[in-house]
Amino acid sequence: MKQIWNKKLLPGEKWSGNIGRGKYIHFKALGPDANVSMLLYNMRDTSERYNMPDTLKAQYTAHLKKGNILMSDNGRVLASIVEDSLGWHDTLCGYTSRRLTDERYGSTNYQNCRNEWLKSGEENFLVELVRNGMGARDLVPCVNVFSKVYCEYDGSMHYETGHCKEGSTFTLRTEMDIIIILSNTPNPLDKRKTYPSVSVMLEVYDAPAADLQDECVNFRPENYRAFQNTWDYYNLMGL
C-alpha cells in the first residue's frame, strides 16, 4: 500500500480534511486509553453526514467494530471499518463540553495558559466546522474511536478504563468523498481527574474498492443496500 499522508494528533488537538473515496484512514493509539472523537460529512454536499441512529439500527448494534459501516442520513456508506484490534468503539457518549472539561480537570483558558489550555471536543468541532463552511447547527453525534462504553440493565452507562492498549488500531475505508473532523479529547464518561495525554498516529493509504465479496458489504442486508445506494450515487454522476 502506498502511504499518502500521515500526522500525529497530539492530546487536545483537532484536525479536519477532505479525503476522497477509495482511501484507508488508519488510526494507531500511541498510549493506553486513547480517544478520538470523529465526525464525517459528504464533501460534495455537507447536508449529508454521519447518522448515528440509522447506523446503529440498520446493523442491530450500539457500538462499532470491524465489518460495520458508517451510514449517512441518505442511506449511503460514508466509510467502512475494515480493520479493528479492539472490537468496540463508542457511538453513544458524544463529545466533551467546556463546562465538563472545567469541572473535571480545572478551569483553563487560552489567555492564561496559551497552548497548554485544556480543550473540549465541542470547541474543537466548532472551529473545524467553521473552517469547512459549516457551523454549530451541523454538530451531530460523533464516533469515539478506541473507547468502550457499555450499558447496564438499569440504563446506566459505563466507560471501561484499560480497553484501549498502546498500539491499538482502527482502519476506515472511505466509500464516499468525505470531510473528516477529528478531536483528540477525552470521552465524556472517562472519570480520570487528569486530562488524558495520549497521542494518536493518523495515516492515509490508497485502498482497493469494495466488491460484492467484501465483509462490510455482506455484514447485513442493510449494508448491501447502503452500498448499492452509494454506487448508484457515483454512477449517476459519471464518477
Give the model confidence (pLDDT) of 36-59 as tens digits: 999 999 999 999 999 999 999 999
Residue corresponding to grid cell 442493510: 222
Segment 60-87 shows an average pLDDT of 98
Q: Are 64 and 91 in contact (CB under 8 A)?
A: yes
Q: DSSP for 53-115?
A: HHHHHHTT-SEE-TT-EEEBTTS-EEEEEEEESSS-EE-SS----HHHHHHHH----HHHHGG
| Residues 172, 178: Cα–Cα separation, whole Å | 12
Give the model confidence (pLDDT) of 84-116 as tens digits: 999 999 999 999 999 999 999 999 988 989 988
pLDDT for res 116? 87
Say what percent of the chain tops pLDDT 70: 100
Give the model confidence (pLDDT) of 105-153 as tens digits: 999 988 989 988 999 999 999 999 999 999 999 999 999 999 999 999 9
How many residues appear in the chain?
A: 239
Name the average pLDDT for the chain. Answer: 96
pLDDT for res 223? 98
| Residues 106, 173: Cα–Cα separation, whole Å | 38
Q: Is 169 helix (H, G, I), strand (E, B) or coil?
A: strand
First to last CA, the chain: 23
Prediction pTM value: 0.97
Q: State the number of CA atoms in the 13 A half-sphere of 29 facing the CB.
A: 25
The contacts of residue 128 (CB under 8 Å, 6+ apart) are 14, 15, 16, 181, 183
| Residues 203, 189: Cα–Cα separation, whole Å | 27
pLDDT for res 1? 76
For residue 64, how far is the Cα from the chain centroid?
10
Which grid coordinates are listed for 190? 472517562
| Residues 94, 142: Cα–Cα separation, whole Å | 5
Q: DSSP for 210-227?
A: P-TT-TTTTS-HHHHHHH
Residue corresponding to grid cell 468503539: 89
The more confident residue out of 64 and 197 is 64
Give the model confidence (pLDDT) of 194-211 as tens digits: 998 899 999 999 999 999
